[in-house]
């Protein structure tokens, strides 16, 4: 049963404002920067020179590019596992009554609503070797964190970025998994009533598979937001020590800000864009079918 009268006109009228703004102010500049990846341009004048695939050739031979890609991937996996594991755990813990749980539910999104620049500053200050709170606590635990200092120490700097990212993002995942758990609580009860499972067994065989749609959202969100760690890297470590925390976007920023290589940076961005797209499509494909659909039917 479909209302077809004036359907096309309606579609057109409702879509055109969004399409227009999106096309003019996002897609068009984006295409222009794609085009830029085939030019040599220093970004300070209109002079630019077409050089074909040279930027890409140089990029694939650039060891720092591979290193930053690897760092970004590692961060995605480490931060991903940490946020999802902690998210699920804390979602269980915050579920229920009691003052602490209620308070927890009220504030766990705090770090999420802070500007990333502010998050980065807070962590930078906390990790300062002289007056940093976290440095002081870790030092008292016997860790050699005061020299050269956490953000400059090849042993700790990467973890520092990961921790700041998890601190910022975790609340969202707790929220997500809490919502997911609420949604499937009936199904969990049914299933466990049937096979009498509980505890870890129940989680492993009933709860975890049922959370599939939440997992999909979680991973999509991670993919999108892993690129934002740039602000953290930029403020806390500047990619150091010696490229130890260089991520793909901080390297891209270096090409623009330090080296004035806009064409090269655009080539980097095209690769980032391609990798993100492929990764997102892979996630979508993997989660396309509801694996629990059969069980539910």
Question: According to CB under 8 A, which residues from 198 to 227 bind another protein?
Answer: 213-214, 216-217, 220, 223-224, 227
Closer by beta carbon to another protein, 192 or else 276: 276
Does position 186 interact with another protein (CB under 8 A)? The reply is no
Does position 192 interact with another protein (CB under 8 A)? The reply is no
Per the CB < 8 A criterion, the answer to whether 240 and 156 are in contact is no
Closer by beta carbon to another protein, 191 or else 283: 283
- Which residue of 78, 122, 138, 188 would you call a contact of another protein, by CB under 8 A? 122
Does position 272 interact with another protein (CB under 8 A)? The reply is yes
Q: How far is CA 72 from CA 22, 46, 239, 247, in A?
A: 28, 33, 11, 5
Among the residue ranges 74-82, 148-156, 186-194, 288-296, the one whose residues contact another protein (CB under 8 A): 148-156
Is the bond leading into 74 cis (omega within 30 degrees of zero)?
Answer: no
Considering only residues 22 through 81, tell me which ones interact with another protein, judged by CB under 8 A.
22, 24-30, 32-33, 36, 40, 42-49
- Which residue of 67, 202, 205, 243 would you call a contact of another protein, by CB under 8 A? 243
Q: What are φ and ψ of residue 131, in 5° steps? A: -115, 10
CB neighbourhood size of 210 (10 A): 22
Beta strands in 138-261 (DSSP E): none
Max CA-CA distance within the chain?
A: 74
Among positive and negative, which fits the CA dihedral 156, 161, 82, 226? negative
Closer by beta carbon to another protein, 26 or else 282: 26
Per the CB < 8 A criterion, the answer to whether 84 and 173 are in contact is yes
Considering only residues 71 through 110, tell me which ones interact with another protein, judged by CB under 8 A.
89-90, 92-94, 98, 100-101, 103-110
Among the residue ranges 73-81, 128-136, 186-194, 201-209, the one whose residues contact another protein (CB under 8 A): 128-136
- Which residue of 69, 116, 191, 222 would you call a contact of another protein, by CB under 8 A? 116
- CB of 93: closest distance to another protein in angstroms? 5
- What span, in angstroms and rounded, lies between the C-alpha atoms of 87 and 81? 10
Considering only residues 244 through 263, tell me which ones interact with another protein, judged by CB under 8 A.
249, 252-254, 256-260, 262
Assign 49 to helix, strand or coil.
strand
Beta bridge partners of 48: 41
User: What token pair was written down for 273?
Assistant: 């864009």
């Amino acid at each position: 049963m479909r209302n077809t009268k004036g359907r096309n006109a309606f579609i057109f009228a409702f879509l055109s404002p969004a399409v227009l703004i999106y096309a003019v102010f996002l897609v068009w500049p984006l295409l222009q920067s794609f085009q830029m990846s085939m030019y040599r341009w220093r970004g300070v004048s209109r002079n630019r020179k077409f050089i074909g695939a040279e930027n890409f050739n140089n990029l694939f031979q650039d060891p720092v590019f591979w290193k930053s890609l690897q760092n970004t991937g590692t961060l995605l996996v480490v931060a991903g596992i940490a946020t999802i594991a902690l998210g699920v755990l804390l979602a269980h813990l915050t579920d229920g009554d009691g003052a602490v749980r209620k308070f927890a539910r009220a504030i766990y999104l705090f770090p999420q609503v802070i500007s990333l620049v502010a998050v980065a500053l807070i962590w930078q200050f906390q990790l300062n070797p002289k007056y940093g709170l976290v440095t002081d606590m870790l030092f008292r635990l016997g860790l050699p964190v005061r020299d050269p200092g956490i953000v400059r120490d090849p042993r700790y700097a990467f973890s520092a970025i990961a921790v700041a990212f998890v601190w910022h993002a975790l609340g969202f995942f707790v929220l997500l998994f809490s919502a997911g758990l609420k949604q499937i609580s009936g199904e969990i009860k049914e299933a466990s009533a049937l096979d009498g499972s509980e505890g870890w067994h129940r989680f492993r065989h009933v709860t975890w598979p049922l959370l599939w749609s939440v997992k999909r959202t979680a991973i999509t969100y991670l993919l999108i937001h892993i690129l934002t760690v740039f602000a953290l890297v930029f403020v806390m470590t500047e990619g150091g020590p010696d490229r130890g925390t260089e991520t793909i976007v901080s390297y891209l920023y270096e090409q623009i800000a330090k080296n004035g290589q806009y064409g090269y940076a655009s080539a980097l961005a095209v690769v980032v864009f391609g990798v993100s797209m492929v990764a997102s499509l892979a996630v979508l494909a993997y989660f396309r079918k509801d694996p629990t659909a059969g069980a539910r039917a």
